Structure 1
Amino acid sequence: MDYLRTPDDRFADLPDFDFPPHYLHVDDTQGGRLRLHYVDAGPAEAAPILALHGEPTWSFLYRHMIPVLARAGHRVIAPDLIGFGRSDKPRQRSDYTYGRHVDWIAEAVEQLDLDGITLVCQDWGGLIGLRLVAQMPQRFARIVVANTALPTGDQPMGEAFENWRSYSQTVPEFRAGRIVHGGTARGLGAQAIAAYDAPFPDPAYLAGARQFPMLVPTTPDDPASDANRAAWTVLQGLDLPVLTAFGADDRIMAGLDRVFQARMPGARGQPHVLLPQAGHFLQEDVGPELAERICDFIAATS
């Protein structure tokens, strides 16, 4: 698989992000390997928190949460999905499929031999992470669902999502930093906006970011619909504790927290929260508060 690798100097001196890089290599499914970057912070012997980002962000999204979680004694693993951050970026949009993304992160979990995982998933982090839970439930201890979904195409995603998908395919200049800025309630400073643009030196690096919105199942016969239905069947039979923490100002995922609360047995009786002054990228708006709630959730369910 032909890929690009963002030069290291693009990631120099980013604000509040001085975590040393870690790398592993995953099967590209075409006879080669792709380098996948991840942050690894906190005590190495502690049970891991797997923090998965979405579109068009990278592990930088968790920079205000990782120190809080690590100080509380938790190990935090925050990968960059293939196509994002410091991970390799296949050149062709056709190289990006929903199934491959699941497989790439599953291989990372297996290589790192993570067990007792607390999954923290937002946006595409949920579409991928929840499939992982269904695929390898024995590795997971609990789930924090934040501004995400596991769509099957049997229900419409809503006007806000359709508008976003149309924008992502038609905007002449895809600016990740401005997109993240627009998905927050409080806005971003110039340095943070630049940090979200850093992985993409020119449009050739944006194949994954451009393709991701088109991979969301929006019709019942989507290539990923059956796999997501099968995942829901597993998830509805698990008793893993589930906490929903959504941003009150997120229009794209509004109301989907109630779907998880109704369908996942482990969500019953949990202190679910709708966080005020928090948009789609709630890690930016209320990251430290969200991290504290995750710590409390882990303590209460351990």
Structure 2
Amino acid sequence: MTREVLRTPEERFSRLPGFAYAPHYVEVDGLRMHYVDVGPRNGPVVVLMHGEPTWAYLYRFMIEPLAAAGYRVLAPDLIGCGRSDKPGAVADYSYAKHVAWTWAWFEQLELADVTLFCQDWGSLIGLRLVAEHSDTFARVFVGNGFLPTGDQTMPRVFSLWRGFALRSPVFPVGAILQAGSKRWLSRDERAAYLAPFPDKRYMAGTRAFPALVPIAPDDPATPDNRAAWESLEKFSRPFHTCFADGDPITRGADKVLRRRVPGAADAEHTTIRGARHFLQEDQGAAIAEFMLAQMGPAR
């Protein structure tokens, strides 16, 4: 059966406060994948990977300071999110497909010596890429993210979120962003997060994400994530954590990453104060400042 693929009309993105970036696209697995590309083309590459139910708009407070420092800043929209194409059924999505789609994007752009910042599902996918293609990554920053294998006990708030995403008759994206952010988002900002979804048909991908997180040892993604941990436990390049002080979902995961990834031993780490799950919304400028303090001036 041919999958239904939905493409959000461009006019939905006509009003994006603080985000006046030209769209860029590549094709992966027959799907159009969008990304932001800002800064000097020959600058060192920084990739910013979002989670759910967000898109590259989440990084609007981080893109400019990083680009102004001489870095080429790339922020892709995961398939099913933002300006990227959206297969129309929950069953069209899997953890393995997201990893493959995103790596295909890396390959098409021929990225090397990448500094990665990843959060939420950006971490579930990004850390897999770091594990499976370690030579591509020069440095990693993780904010409010982890790589679960199904061997950990997940917080109750995640179980509630998983059930809500799959079964709730409504999926209020703007309200979800507000609940996960400490600062008050304007009406236009909340509308920007809803822009990718003209109606509920477009939401299959973002609704699918929580059910793809491995929560049991026999989950389909568990073997690949366990193998990824074996690789991460050998990753010796700089590996930083910058978790928010107010995120109930990922609280404590930074300590595990620092303990298990060798590159974290001599790297700087920080706690982002005054932030919740969407720490890029609450303290994006502070995160960019921390990153630049570790990376130094662009070559």
Q: State how 1:100-249 maps to structure 2 within 5 Å.
A: 100-249=97-246
Report the counterpart of residue 57 of structure 1 in structure 2: 54
Distance 2:238 2:251 in 1: 22
Report the counterpart of residue 15 of structure 1 in structure 2: 17
Distance 2:297 2:221 in 1: 35
Going from structure 1 to structure 2, the CA distance change for 1:285 and 1:46 (only over 3 Å counts) comes to: same
Per-residue CA distance 1:18-54 (angstroms, 9 max, x = gap): 0000000001xxxxx0000000001100121111000
Report the counterpart of residue 26 of structure 1 in structure 2: 28
Residue 301 of structure 1 and its aligned partner are, at CA, apart by 12
Distance 1:160 1:296 in 2: 34
Residue 178 of structure 1 and its aligned partner are, at CA, apart by 1.1
Distance 2:32 2:205 in 1: 15
Q: Which one of the candidate residues 266, 271, 276 is aligned to 2:268? A: 271
Contact (CA 8 Å) 2:65, 2:285: kept in 1 or not? yes
Residue 243 of structure 1 and its aligned partner are, at CA, apart by 0.6
Residue 105 of structure 1 and its aligned partner are, at CA, apart by 0.6
For residue 33 of structure 2, give the secondary structure of its aligned residue in structure 1: strand
Per-residue CA distance 1:161-191 (angstroms, 9 max, x = gap): 1121122223221011111111011131111
162-171 or 42-51, which deviates more: 162-171
For residue 209 of structure 1, give the secondary structure of its aligned residue in structure 2: helix
Distance 1:111 1:52 in 2: 17
The aligned amino acid for 2:108 is: Q
Distance 2:295 2:223 in 1: 32
Distance 1:298 1:238 in 2: 18
Residue 157 of structure 1 and its aligned partner are, at CA, apart by 1.4
1:297 and 2:294 are equivalent in the alignment: yes
Distance 1:45 1:228 in 2: 33
Residue 232 of structure 1 and its aligned partner are, at CA, apart by 0.4
The structure 1 segments of at least 4 consecutive aligned residues displaced by more than 3 Å after TM superposition are none
For residue 143 of structure 1, give the secondary structure of its aligned residue in structure 2: strand
Report the counterpart of residue 85 of structure 1 in structure 2: 82
Query: Structure 1 stretches of 5 or more lacking a match?
Result: 28-32
Query: Structure 2 stretches of 5 or more lacking a match?
Result: none
* Superposition RMSD in Å: 1.3
Report the counterpart of residue 30 of structure 1 in structure 2: none
For residue 144 of structure 1, give the secondary structure of its aligned residue in structure 2: strand
For residue 10 of structure 1, give the secondary structure of its aligned residue in structure 2: helix
For residue 51 of structure 1, give the secondary structure of its aligned residue in structure 2: strand
Distance 1:106 1:187 in 2: 34
Per-residue CA distance 1:195-246 (angstroms, 9 max, x = gap): 0000000000000011110000000010000000000000101101111001
Per-residue CA distance 1:74-121 (angstroms, 9 max, x = gap): 111100000000000001111100000000010000000000100100
If the length of structure 2 is used for normalisation, what is the TM-score? 0.97
Distance 2:57 2:114 in 1: 20
For residue 139 of structure 2, give the secondary structure of its aligned residue in structure 1: strand
